[in-house]
Amino acid sequence: MSSNAEQTLQFDQIRLPPEAQALREEVRTFLAEEVAAGTFDPHSGGQGDDFDRAFSRRVGARGWIGMTWPKKYGGHERTFLERYVLTEEFRIANAPTRGHFIADRQSGPILMKYANEDICMDVLPRICRGECCFCIGMSEPGSGSDLFAARTKAEKTEGGWRINGTKLWTSGAHHADYMIGLFRTSPPTKENRRHGLTQFLVDMTLPGITVNPVPQMTGSLDFNEVVLEDVFIPDSHMLGDVDMAWTQATSELAYERSGPERFLETFYVLVGLARVLEDNPDTRGAEGLGRLVAQLHTLRRMSVSVNGMLQAGKEPVLEGSIVKDLGTAWEQALPARARDLAAFANPQSANIPSFRKQLEHATLIAPKLTIQGGTTEILRGIIARGLGLR
Amino acid sequence: MTNDLDLQSLILESATRILRDSCDPQTVNVAFGDGWKEPLWRDLEESGLTLCWIAEDKGGAGVPLAVGFEVLFVAGRFAIPVPLSETMIAGWLLSAADIPVPEGSITLSSQPSRQSVNVDASGKLSGTVTAVPFAGEADYLAVCAPGEGGPIIALAAMQDCTPATKSSFSGDPKGDVGLDGVIPVASAPMPFEMNEEALLMFGAAARSRQIAGALQAILDLSVSYARERVAFGRPIGKFQAVQHNLARLAGEVAAANAASGSACDTITRAGSFDETVFLEAASAKIRAGEAAGEGAAIAHQVFGAIGFTQEHVLHRYTRRLWGWRDDFGSESEWAEKLGRRVVDAGADELWPMLAAR
Ligand SMILES: Cc1cc2nc3c(=O)[nH]c(=O)nc-3n(C[C@H](O)[C@H](O)[C@H](O)COP(=O)(O)OP(=O)(O)OC[C@H]3O[C@@H](n4cnc5c(N)ncnc54)[C@H](O)[C@@H]3O)c2cc1C
């Protein structure tokens, strides 16, 4: 890992370059037009269904999916900092990115690293056009934090693999065209319990795949159970080396951990709080708001810095994990902090009813923020390893 | 660019060497008396660090602001127990105001916006300068006061002033200094169109950088200790609860480092003390101050009883971390100001403000 006790944590001074800020203006204009056209409600706080294929296509047409990827795959070879700005603006606007975000953030990069060239040439350009939605098939009923307990089986057959088992909590599986699935190809060995899992590209239209929605406590239909029965996957769709997934996708890369989506999920609550305090804030409200703004500003500077260091070819792995840990904890705590701070706001404020609604929604979704994509406990273990403790 | 980086690493290496030799916190901690202070200050002066922000043609080292801020990070790593940052800031202001900077240490108020100092027609200073770090120890005091044509900066000899001998809980003295018709050594209009608010921002950024350095030091100490100290047959760093505490400490250290680094960098490049500098300085002082509190608590928990002793070095850092939180605006003071600005600008301006850079 990248650090030991003698190194300081490093955050290079990165400012968003003019081209990134110019892009921000373009993105804002685009999103304003989409809102005006009724595509989505920016004040929903992400309450609506965030899948909209037509919208994803328009985003793709702008060149805003896979924007850092090589041109030969339909990408645009732009910088991580430009992608950073785009992600921020889409998140702040509560734009419906379900149709492309997962593919853009992690599935595409995994394919580029581990899929054969034919698949890359076939799938990646479609992702970039906003035509290809991905889901992540890692968790199972008996395997969450402990990924290496995965039991869904891939058995070798002629020309490919036969898959049987169940994936769980698979976000967006009901919309997805593909899944990147983690399946058991061999039993673990005595020396290495992580051995024996392999990643595959799974076409979700294949016979034998059933997607059953699992309603969330908010009422949303977002994640699913995916049952795989005798699903045949050709050899060419294996990603990387057989049994070796533990060396591949086991730890996300720093840029998957440290993006602005890791701290902006409940941002609308902060704006709502400022609005409620607008006429004549009490001292406690002003002080509390100021702290939250300072904390968010700091998270943002950390995240921009990590993305800038990645762009410069560095590997701020420890710093990236820290951004996710601090960021998810912050966005999770925000609704409760805002609720306290608004307690003595002018009860006649016309902004209270909409703030209440935002608060209720954010409070309901808050629990997931430190679970999805790896729990706080698992993340802190990773940070401890980076510190040289494990 | 490369030259700047070379210069920076040279200066930081020299600062590290001096502080390691003359101000090793463990050595200082068990030393009898203050005998180490004078040689430490002499070494710092001889190396040019104390006057590093003064231009070369005015007798200083002409070090860029950015590099000086990193010196303060290093100083924090050694729990600096002498008025290095105060002398650097005062020297920078005085020399920019064309006041010759004397040898010796200079201090200034850590609450520049709360002064009640008057300058009479003959230039004599009266009133109280509050919360002055190293009040009784420093040789000089730099005083900001309202003058006829705008704020002025004056240099007074400490021996002409009346420092209250109030000991600070940080381990270094801090107290009010009374001025009873003091004739300053020199005075001049404040440079850089600076006022007390701007000085508060500058001081906040500088102090946050020092806090970040001290936090990095307690992270290093805590991680090493967790790998060595054995309980129940294994190093305590193998226990998950301890690992998670240290991961949280690393998060606080990272936040203080990023926030303070960004604020110092911003001041270095800014043309004036504008809204951007305000957001950066306020955020740095708030977040570093919070990290100081959280971080010190975690480090003490990791060390157990040994860290609660006089003999152990940890308190040299943690006491200063607690004390430095109050200098140049506490978390709460800055947060209240920042919150009001956000509200005054309107909720719709919040995101554009954050996303501007
Ligand atoms: C909204 C949402 C969307 C999701 N989307 C997807 C998806 O698209 N694809 C997918 O594959 N998965 C998805 N997940 C699943 C997610 O990755 C898992 O929930 C997560 O990894 C935790 O696994 P678990 O729920 O089985 O909890 P468990 O692993 O059973 O953990 C329960 C508790 O025990 C703690 N714990 C477990 N092991 C340790 C340990 N070693 N040390 C200390 N504490 C430990 C955990 O931190 C947690 O607090 C999603 C989850 C949510 C909430």
Using CB atoms, pick whichever of A88, A89, A293 lies closest to residue B342.
A293
Domain boundary among A96, A111, A132: A132
User: What is the dotted CATH code of the domain comprising B196-355?
Assistant: 1.20.140.10
Ligand 1 atom 23: residue of nearest CA: A144
Three-class SS of residue A203? Answer: strand
Give the pLDDT score at A90.
Answer: 97
The CATH code of the domain that includes A159 is 2.40.110.10
Give the pLDDT score at B195.
Answer: 86
Give the pLDDT score at B169.
Answer: 82
Q: In this predicted model, what pLDDT tens digit does every residue of A306-315 receive, in sequence order?
A: 999 999 999 8
Give the pLDDT score at A3.
Answer: 37
Residues A240, A277, single domain; the answer is no
Residues A126, A24, single domain; the answer is yes
- Indicate yes or no: CB of B265 within 8 angstroms of CB of A13: yes
Residues A118, A18, single domain; the answer is yes
pLDDT at B350 over 70: yes
B69 to chain A, any CB pair closer than 8 A? The answer is: no
In a domain, A1, yes or no: no
Q: Where are the domains of chain B?
A: 1-80, 106-192, 196-355
Domain boundary among A132, A167, A185: A132
Q: Is the CB of A375 under 6 A from ligand 1?
A: yes
Question: Which chain B positions have a beta carbon within 8 Å of A289's beta carbon?
Answer: 335, 338-339, 342-343
Give the pLDDT score at B2.
Answer: 55
- Indicate yes or no: CB of A278 within 8 angstroms of CB of B340: no
Distance CA A166, CA A145 (A): 16
Q: How many CA atoms lie within 13 A of A82 on its CB side?
A: 18
Q: Is the CB of A169 under 6 A from ligand 1?
A: yes
Distance CA A136, CA A171 (A): 7
Residues A128, A146, single domain; the answer is no
pLDDT at B167 over 80: no
Size of interface A-B (CB pairs under 8 A): 170
User: What DSSP assignment string belongs to A133-191?
Assistant: -EEEE--BTTBSS-GGG---EEEEETTEEEEEEEEES-TTTTT-SEEEEEEESSPPPSS
Query: What is the Å distance from ligand 1's center to B345 Cα?
Result: 41
Residues A232, A268, single domain; the answer is no
Sheet with B150-157, strands from edge to edge, namely: B106-108, B140-147, B150-157, B186-189
Q: Compute the nearest-CA separation of B26 from chain A (Å).
A: 17
Give the pLDDT score at A88.
Answer: 97
- Indicate yes or no: CB of A289 within 8 angstroms of CB of B251: no
- Indicate yes or no: CB of A9 within 8 angstroms of CB of B253: yes
A46 versus B324: the higher-pLDDT residue is: B324
In a domain, A253, yes or no: no
- Indicate yes or no: CB of A274 within 8 angstroms of CB of B347: yes
Give the pLDDT score at A65.
Answer: 98
Distance CA B109, CA B179 (A): 13
Number of domains in chain A: 3
Distance CA B99, CA B96 (A): 7
Give the pLDDT score at A287.
Answer: 98
For B174-187, give the secondary structure using H, E and C.
Answer: EEEEEEEEECCCEE
Predicted complex ipTM: 0.96
Give the pLDDT score at B200.
Answer: 96
pLDDT at A250 over 80: no
Domain boundary among A86, A110, A132: A132
The CATH code of the domain that includes A278 is 1.20.140.10
Measured CA distances, A327 to A2, A266, A300 (Å): 21, 11, 9
The CATH code of the domain that includes A104 is 1.10.540.10
The position carrying tokens 């996300």 is A252
Q: Is the CB of A377 under 6 A from ligand 1?
A: yes
| Closest alpha carbon within chain A to B276 | A297
pLDDT at A2 over 50: no
pLDDT at A222 over 80: yes
Task: Let me know: does B349 contact A270? Beta carbons within 8 Å.
Answer: no
Q: Which domain holds residue A355?
A: 258-386
Q: Helix and strand tally (H, E) in chain A?
A: 13, 8
Residues A267, A377, single domain; the answer is yes
Residues A81, A148, single domain; the answer is no
Among B36, B81, B339, which residue's Cα sits nearest to residue A288?
Answer: B339
| Closest alpha carbon within chain B to A7 | B220
Mean pLDDT of B195-208: 95
Give the pLDDT score at B114.
Answer: 82
Lowest mean pLDDT among A124-128, A381-385, B7-11, B162-166: B162-166
pLDDT at B284 over 60: yes
Q: In this predicted model, what pLDDT tens digit does every residue of B293-348 receive, in sequence order?
A: 999 999 999 999 999 999 999 999 999 999 999 999 999 999 999 999 999 999 99
B272 to chain A, any CB pair closer than 8 A? The answer is: no
Question: Which chain B positions have a beta carbon within 8 Å of A328's beta carbon?
Answer: none
Mean pLDDT of B27-40: 92
Using CB atoms, pick whichever of B238, B247, B254 lies closest to residue A319.
B254
- Backbone phi, psi, residue A246, to 5°: -60, -20
Q: In this predicted model, what pLDDT tens digit does every residue of A315-347 receive, in sequence order?
A: 898 999 999 999 999 999 999 999 999 999 988
Question: Which chain A positions have a beta carbon within 8 Å of B262's beta carbon?
Answer: 11, 13, 298, 301
Question: Which chain B positions have a beta carbon within 8 Å of A389's beta carbon?
Answer: 223, 226-227, 237-238, 242-243, 246
Distance CA B286, CA A53 (A): 43
Residue B13 neighbours by CB distance under 10 Å: 11
Distance CA B25, CA B64 (A): 28
Give the pLDDT score at B193.
Answer: 81
Residue A72's region, left for phi above 0, alpha for psi from -120 to 50, else beta, is: alpha
Give the pLDDT score at A348.
Answer: 87
Among B69, B208, B353, B216, which residue's Cα sits nearest to residue A296?
Answer: B353
Mean pLDDT of B162-176: 86
Distance CA B81, CA B65 (A): 22
Mean pLDDT of A104-129: 96
Q: Helix and strand tally (H, E) in chain B?
A: 11, 10
Residues A262, A350, single domain; the answer is yes
Residues A352, A317, single domain; the answer is yes
Residues A104, A142, single domain; the answer is no
CATH class of the domain defined by B106-192: mainly beta
Question: Which chain B positions have a beta carbon within 8 Å of A266's beta carbon?
Answer: none
Query: What is the Å distance from ligand 1's center to A171 Cα?
Result: 13
**H or E element, residue B233:** none
Residues A288, A351, single domain; the answer is yes
Instruction: Find the angle CA(B2)-CA(B258)-CA(B264) to the nearest 5 degrees.
Output: 60
Distance CA A67, CA A255 (A): 14
B12 to chain A, any CB pair closer than 8 A? The answer is: no
Mean pLDDT of A151-166: 98
**H or E element, residue A13:** none
Residues A85, A195, single domain; the answer is no
pLDDT at A5 over 80: no
Measured CA distances, A142 to A136, A153, A243, A317, A371 (Å): 16, 13, 19, 28, 16
Mean pLDDT of B26-54: 94
Q: In this predicted model, what pLDDT tens digit does every residue of A340-379 receive, in sequence order?
A: 999 999 888 899 999 999 999 999 999 999 999 999 999 9
